[in-house]
Amino acid sequence: MTATNSYQRAATRPEIQALRAVAVVSVVSYHFWPTIAPAGFIGVDVFFVISGFLITGLLLREFDRSGRISLGQFYLRRSRRILPAAFVVLAATAVVTLLFVPPGEGRRFLAEIAASALYIENWHWFADATRPGFADLASTPVQHFWSLSVEEQFYLAWPLLLMGALWIVGRYAGGRRRALVLVLGLVTAASFVHGVLLTLQDNNLAYFSTFSRAWEFGVGAVLACLPVVAGAQWVKVRALVSWVGLAAIGLALWTLTDVETFPGVVALLPVLGTAAVIWAGTPEVRWSTAGMARLIPVQWLGDVSYSLYLWHWPILLMTPFITGVPSEPWVMATLLVLSLVAAGLSKRWIEDSFRNGSVSPEGLASASSRPRHRAEAPSPRPASGPKPTSGVPQAVAR
């Protein structure tokens, strides 16, 4: 058997793209047709584990190379990756709100758009949940930004915590990894216990709180520090673990429908299932999940998962305001196709352009001095929450 750090593995991870596809399909199915995915909101938990794993691995690789972590570069990379597509969606939603939504309801929409732009939508949503008559309020087109807010808050705090952990364990090659796992494990365990206890006391706060969700990122972070087992004798074990992890996510998708118990102990099912799939990787055995994970449609959905998550909910929620009538089943199917098209275009022309550097603040500034010949475009609460707008399925954006 050989072992390496999981954060030293290749950047291309078909199983992670497949997990992203599973996560976004779960959420979108839950929003469009809840009976297909009764607990599709657990897709958010899958995303959280993936983020914890990837971000921690990224930071640790940088530390191994240079002996330090550049906060400025990290935050710049995250901003270029996340903000452009999100701000385009928020701007488009604001325009549609001003044009088609009645003023009273529109003011609430615009307030949530502002909270989403500041990435505090999770706290704004919780504050709304404490108001009298909350259950009678309609869904808003950007309330799915609550999970993106939690994630962005994680991105702000986690590098600092990781730097502190690295300082605590020191820079000794021998035993550093075990010490780092111990420190991050303690932080993760503390958040998990807090989340379980808070779920029993205040389910709404537990669901939206960054502190009670941090352990899900932490599970991915700890996994990034663990050694990866390699060798022929482990291939079948990894293949089996991958199927067990995928089955755990599927079981959660169909059984965790009691929202009052979420995200308590039951959240372990999708979280550990996701961690199992990541740990297993893509073992080259005929009966493993690797072949399914590498399917072109699966990989494409993983590629566009962030943009699809961003666009599908405003498209779904705002259509009845534009048409003036509830969305019929055929309209819902059309909106799903429209969401997929918007996601593909957003990934190609917004996400990739900014991430690859073909569009940058410097480039935009210099371009402003040149003639312009054409315009160019610049990762949910259920029935216990507010009631959706007419024509939208009975599932609120968790």
User: Which residues lie below 8 Å from residue 355, measured CB to CB, with a gap of 6+?
Assistant: 80, 81
Instruction: Say if CB 46 and CB 15 are below 8 A apart.
Output: no
Q: How far is CA 83 from CA 53, 88, 119, 344, 398, in A?
A: 21, 9, 10, 17, 20
Region of residue 357 (left: phi > 0; alpha: psi -120 to 50; beta: else): left
pLDDT values of the chain reduced to their tens digit, one per residue, 398 residues: 455 555 545 457 899 999 999 999 999 999 999 999 999 999 999 999 999 999 999 999 998 888 888 999 999 999 999 999 999 999 999 999 999 999 989 999 999 999 999 999 999 988 876 666 555 566 899 999 999 999 999 999 999 998 888 887 775 555 677 788 888 999 999 999 999 999 999 988 999 999 999 999 999 999 999 877 766 778 899 999 999 999 999 999 999 988 888 999 999 999 999 999 999 998 888 888 999 999 999 999 999 999 999 999 999 999 999 999 888 999 999 999 999 999 999 999 999 999 876 555 444 444 433 433 333 323 334 333 333 333 444 344 45
Instruction: Say if CB 352 and CB 306 are below 8 A apart.
Output: no
Q: Say whether pTM exceeds 0.75.
A: yes
Phi, psi of 138 (to 5 degrees): -75, 160
Residue 2, beta-bridge partner list: 230
Alpha carbons 36 and 253: distance in angstroms, whole number: 9
Is residue 38 reached through a cis peptide bond, with omega within 30 degrees of 0 on the bond before it? no
Q: Residue 132's pLDDT is what? A: 62
Residue 228, beta-bridge partner list: 4
Amino acid at 132: P
Q: What tokens appear for 340 in the block?
A: 């997929």
- Tell which residue, 91, 142, 88, has the closest CA to residue 351: 88
Q: Residue 384's pLDDT is what? A: 34
Taking each continuous run of H as one helix and of E as one strand, the counts in the chain are: 17, 2
Q: What tokens appear for 173 in the block?
A: 């090659």
Q: Residue 394's pLDDT is what? A: 39
Pairing of strands 2-5, 227-230: antiparallel
Burial of 131 (0-12, 13-18, 19+ CB in 10 A): exposed
Say which residue the tokens 């067990």 belong to. Answer: 244
Region of residue 102 (left: phi > 0; alpha: psi -120 to 50; beta: else): beta
